[in-house]
């Protein structure tokens, strides 16, 4: 079962639906694997728990 992990900011429910639909459709088209085989985990991450270039996003 192909699996995607999406780490990002908290997003609204309707945007989550749009996101998983788009990812699933694109992955299925690119691989030929049926859409029903894909699993996607959405992981909300707060800025104080993410660093880019050695700096926390919350410090920006």
Dihedral sign computed on CA atoms, order 9, 12, 15, 20: positive
**Residue 10: pLDDT band with limits 50, 70, 90:** very high
**Residue 32: pLDDT band with limits 50, 70, 90:** very high
Domain carrying residue 18: 3-59
pLDDT reading at 60 higher than 90: no
Number of domains in the chain: 1
Residue 2 phi, psi dihedral angles, 5° rounding: -65, 140
The CATH number assigned to the domain holding 54 equals 3.30.429.10
Report pLDDT for 15: 98
**Beta strands 3-8 and 39-44, pairing class:** parallel
pLDDT reading at 11 higher than 90: yes
């Amino acid at each position: 079962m192909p699996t995607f992990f999406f780490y990002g900011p908290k997003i609204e429910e309707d945007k989550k639906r749009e996101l998983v639909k788009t990812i699933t459709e694109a992955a299925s088209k690119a691989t030929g694997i049926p859409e029903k085989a894909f699993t996607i985990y959405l992981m909300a991450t707060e800025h104080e728990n993410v660093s880019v270039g050695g700096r926390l996003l919350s410090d920006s």
